[in-house]
Structure 1
Amino acid sequence: MTTTVADLQLLPAFRPTHLIAGKRGRQNPVANIALLGDQQTPNDMAPHEILVTSLQEFYQTSPQRLNLFLTALTQSQCSAIIVRLTDFNFTSAIPHALITTCQQHDLPLFTLPRESDYNDLFLAVTQRLFADKQRLLDQYKKLNQHFVTQAAQDGSQQAVLETLASLIHNPVVLFRLHAGREEPLVKSTDVTIPLDRVQINDRQLATVPAEVSHTYFRAPVAQTTSQQLLVKLPHQTLPPHYLGVFAQNQAITDVDFMAIENALNFLQLASLQQTTWTQAQQSYDNDLIDDLFAGNLTQPGTLNQALTHFHLDADQHYRLVLVQCRTAAAQTADAFSQQPTVAHRILTFIRQHWVPVLTRIRPDRILVALPVTTALADLKRPLQRWLQTATASDYQVGISTPSLPRNFGTAVAQTVKTVQLADALLPKARVVTLNDLGFYRCLLPLTNPADLRALVPEELLDLNTQHPELYRTLTTYFAHNHSIKDSAAALYIHPKTMSYRLNKIKRLTTLDFTDAENLFMANVGCHILNLVTQHVLS
């Protein structure tokens, strides 16, 4: 139990004192007793201290300075003031402002006769506080032993709550806040009050014993006369978790607070253990998914174990969906690791429309495996609508052909290359499949830049090397559907200048702008050369 001013008044060494103001503050908690010298101020006082002073300096001080002194006392949560009377002052000499302030703030004001030795008072109070702290420590150890014994058998959050409820004889709950209401996570079995009755927005700071190290609040409970005592679990990630105690069977005592403080420590430990286990499990799952998507599980035994772990059917077909973030037509290497909330929003969208059986977030892409239960068009349309609203980043989505789990490695590699080709050749296509590449899908097996360059007409290679400005003019012309006006605008030149450059290209090459087949071959050559220069398939 917390020591109060009233408790100390029972000490023999305290009996010579005389209470002259602040009688209603006799239940103020006391943690220490300190001496304030004539030239000192109470600004550095710790909370719940009894201040012993002669106030000699303040008998002749200005009212303004005296007011500052009294303000500092109240702000420091001073428990009581003891004025030592000397041969030169009497009770009547104590400033009236001090008596009035102590009376207003329920701050007990005592006088100590000049014939009494304040050293005896100091010694008696210090010994009492030490003995009380020792008893509190013994109680804390006993309470702690309850939780230690329980943790040795079951260290779960449920077990911690049941232990706490049995010690304080009140139901307890672990919850988080959602939309201004309490959302239960774990409850002791004796909880009967619905959490939606707790008026969490009307909570107020709770008065707690001096030994308590956390901040507590009290919230009213609708349709009852009880309250909920709540405290946030320390060192929690977002969203934070809270411990709530329904004070419905009996009032919360100082010893109960010690039990709650113990429970907070063990709840934090249980949370850390759960987090560690979850992270270890997630790491194991990620490694297994990586092996599946990389085609590393070639042995039937290991493959079947992985399929069983993820509840996959070896004979069912799945589509792999790849989401990749692009910035200025180049894949961002760590877009999702830098913005994990973006990845979370993407997966939330996917789960709202389909039931993914595997998900994997990589720094630069998200891979999802979906059972083939709907038509491809029904898969592409929602994704295309979503991409039209994804204005924060430029995403591109690749969808594989239906694949069995044993062929996931090939399907992933194919989908990655499909997105890479589409990014370079079809920048306006946001959702692409292998068939969407059309003629260009024949480029997928080619990974050697020399093999790709062999497909580019030699005169285009020379134009790119010897006349890069004209080569850029030609690729811009192709990119804008052979429109001189639009191409000139894209290059910030006059249409006549554009026509002049095209005529110059005609003179330098055998390109015939009136021959559709010739234009097609040149356009394909420009696209392939673009793949080579960007190292897309290498």
Structure 2
Amino acid sequence: MLVKDLLQQKIFKDSRTLTGTIGLDNPIESVMIIEALDIEKWAVRNQILLTSYVAFQDKNLDEIKEYFEKISSIGISGIIIKIRRFIQEVPSHFIELCNSHEIPLIEIPPTITYESIILSIHEPLLNYESFLLRRYYEASKIFSNLVNPRYSYEDLVRRFTDFTGLAVSLKIPESSFFFQSESFPSLPNYQYVEFEVQNLYAQHHYYLRSYTTPEETEEIEFYYLDIKNITDVRRYSFLIHVETKSIDHSLILAIEKFLEVLSQKLDAEYYRKNEIFLHRNKTISAILFDINKDAYDLKLLLEEISLFDHPYYQVVLITLPNQFEKHQLRPIRKAFDTIGLSNVYYESKNTLVYILNIEKETDRIQKKTLKTLLPRIDKVHYFLSKAGNYLEISQLFSTCLKMKQFNDSFYISDFIDQEDLGIFNFLISIPPENYNNMVPDELLQLFNDKPDLFETLYIFIINHLNYGSTAKELYLHPKTIRYRISKITQLLQLDLGNPIQLANYTIGCILLNLKKKKEKTTKSSLEQ
């Protein structure tokens, strides 16, 4: 009920509104008689107050002003004042305070009893509560049945528009679903005012957008109710076109029931998709890690994920940084959807692996093509294998992992093709336990007996034989580095000007450093 609705009742025919049209659209949800000015202890929002001014008689203007500050902050709907009992007319300062705080003031004659006023407010409110309960029951009856998976999102939203008679727009990004009523007006392309709708039945966030046409045209107002999911605003976008800025409780209740069912359907779809994803992820994992050694079983797994149409395969390993947001994967997935090759992907923490099914070896995706399709994201690295048959998928994946390990130690690029590695293709294929056989004896002895000198040589080589850069990285003086390098060259009988000898020792340093990192990782894993 609004203040203006109350004034239409018969008992108010002899009343007067002393504040003009101020606050006539204020809602009324309860009524209270003023007996004292400690209003903050008892009053609630949307309450109308009754008084004969007895509570104000002995109060000075400052106390009355303080009282109005309190009721204004509470959100009182209005004041009804009875005259010719304690006062003959309403004091001018009281009317001024009502005007300044935009609180409607209604004057009634002494013939109107408080009891009749209270009944005139409570009877419609009680009837309205019954109406709301009935409306909510009807909404529950209609929407609850639509939780069943055989009903689509469109079925649900169409039932909502039929039930409320309102035009809506609903978008669910994760499900690629979009619905818009034919009568839903396009959002005007000019500024709007937005405020949050406060409602005791609202469990979500409701924002009313008010658009007004530009001044040079006939003034027309458009209202849209924008409802935000309370836990995840990205889950859906839901707009309702409403005729007025006054939002009835019955609409809020219907929306809440609709959103409750929508959330249940979204949850059910998520769990269903997640179950399918986990099973599929497990299947792809078995292929990549060669869990099923039998060729026939491997073929069945590939057929299960619809990836056995062509004879050749290529693996793309994508490594992601820590705390990488899941939504950041969308442009990567979208890029692979556009390459025109059958593919599946395996997802785990900080890793995304694509298996591509190609008709000919020459159809393998090239690094140049991939770089144009995929987004450049900081600390995201891509590793491309060669092409091979279905029995070689696990080997292709293993090569990508070795390429990653190599790139972690000796950063080459964000995009690495197996063909880029050249001789290092041979090096990364050597098991760490066989590294010692590929290293000169003097260098191996330096690695085992004088680790500080070995590290100095390794850093010196990585920094292109630059004394200054090596000193900076090791936090030593350049003279110390020169002394150490001189000592190392004597121990190893190494001529840094001999390219063949330098290449031999460079490869040896790389292998021994990879071995050291491997042993450190293994030790760390065992300790955990």
Normalised by the length of structure 1, the TM-score is: 0.77
1:21 aligns with 2:30: no
Number of residue equivalences: 510
- Whether the aligned pair in 2 keeps the contact of 1:231 and 1:244 (CA below 8 Å) is yes
Post-superposition CA distance 1:246-294 (Å, at most 9, x none): 4589x98765554334323322333333333333333333223222322
Residue of structure 2 equivalent to 1:311: 306
1:414 aligns with 2:399: yes
Report the alpha carbon displacement of residue 132 of structure 1 after superposing the two structures with TM.
2.8
Report the alpha carbon displacement of residue 453 of structure 1 after superposing the two structures with TM.
3.1
Corresponding residue SS for 1:535? helix
Residue of structure 2 equivalent to 1:432: 416
In 2 relative to 1, CA 298–448 (structure 1 residues): closer, same or farther, beyond 3 Å?
same
User: Which one of the candidate residues 317, 321, 326 is aligned to 1:322?
Assistant: 317
Post-superposition CA distance 1:430-463 (Å, at most 9, x none): 44344444444344454453x3334433432332
Residue of structure 1 equivalent to 2:504: 521
Structure 1 stretches lacking a partner, 5+ long: 178-183, 326-334
Distance 2:400 2:325 in 1: 23
Residue of structure 1 equivalent to 2:436: 453
- Whether the aligned pair in 2 keeps the contact of 1:321 and 1:398 (CA below 8 Å) is yes
1:360 aligns with 2:346: yes
Distance 2:262 2:426 in 1: 59
The 5 A counterparts of 1:77-92 are 77-83=75-81, 89-92=86-89
User: Which one of the candidate residues 44, 47, 51 is aligned to 2:45?
Assistant: 47
- Whether the aligned pair in 2 keeps the contact of 1:199 and 1:221 (CA below 8 Å) is no
Report the alpha carbon displacement of residue 145 of structure 1 after superposing the two structures with TM.
1.5
Distance 1:130 1:55 in 2: 28
Distance 2:69 2:478 in 1: 81
Residue of structure 1 equivalent to 2:274: 279
1:191 aligns with 2:191: no
- Whether the aligned pair in 2 keeps the contact of 1:336 and 1:364 (CA below 8 Å) is yes
Report the alpha carbon displacement of residue 515 of structure 1 after superposing the two structures with TM.
4.8
Residue of structure 1 equivalent to 2:5: 6
Moved more, 397-406 or 485-494: 485-494
Post-superposition CA distance 1:57-94 (Å, at most 9, x none): 5334343443333344344332231335696x2242x3
1:170 aligns with 2:166: yes
Distance 1:153 1:458 in 2: 70
Residue of structure 2 equivalent to 1:244: 239
User: Which one of the candidate residues 441, 447, 466 is aligned to 2:425?
Assistant: 441
Distance 1:422 1:152 in 2: 50
In 2 relative to 1, CA 23–64 (structure 1 residues): closer, same or farther, beyond 3 Å?
same
> Which residue identity is paired with 1:508?
L
The 5 A counterparts of 1:44-83 are 45-83=43-81
Corresponding residue SS for 1:30? coil
Residue of structure 1 equivalent to 2:525: none
> Which residue identity is paired with 1:359?
Y
1:288 aligns with 2:283: yes
1:473 aligns with 2:456: yes
Q: Identity of aligned pairs, percent?
A: 17
Post-superposition CA distance 1:27-72 (Å, at most 9, x none): 5422111233314134863221111345445334343443333344
Distance 2:3 2:344 in 1: 62
Report the alpha carbon displacement of residue 363 of structure 1 after superposing the two structures with TM.
1.8
Distance 1:111 1:212 in 2: 35
- Whether the aligned pair in 2 keeps the contact of 1:83 and 1:110 (CA below 8 Å) is yes
Corresponding residue SS for 1:51? strand
Corresponding residue SS for 2:387? coil
Report the alpha carbon displacement of residue 529 of structure 1 after superposing the two structures with TM.
1.3
Residue of structure 2 equivalent to 1:380: 367
Normalised by the length of structure 2, the TM-score is: 0.79
Report the alpha carbon displacement of residue 15 of structure 1 after superposing the two structures with TM.
6.0
Distance 2:137 2:381 in 1: 60
In 2 relative to 1, CA 299–101 (structure 1 residues): closer, same or farther, beyond 3 Å?
farther
In 2 relative to 1, CA 41–10 (structure 1 residues): closer, same or farther, beyond 3 Å?
same
CA root-mean-square deviation: 4.3
Corresponding residue SS for 1:401? strand
- Whether the aligned pair in 2 keeps the contact of 1:316 and 1:404 (CA below 8 Å) is yes
> Which residue identity is paired with 1:365?
T
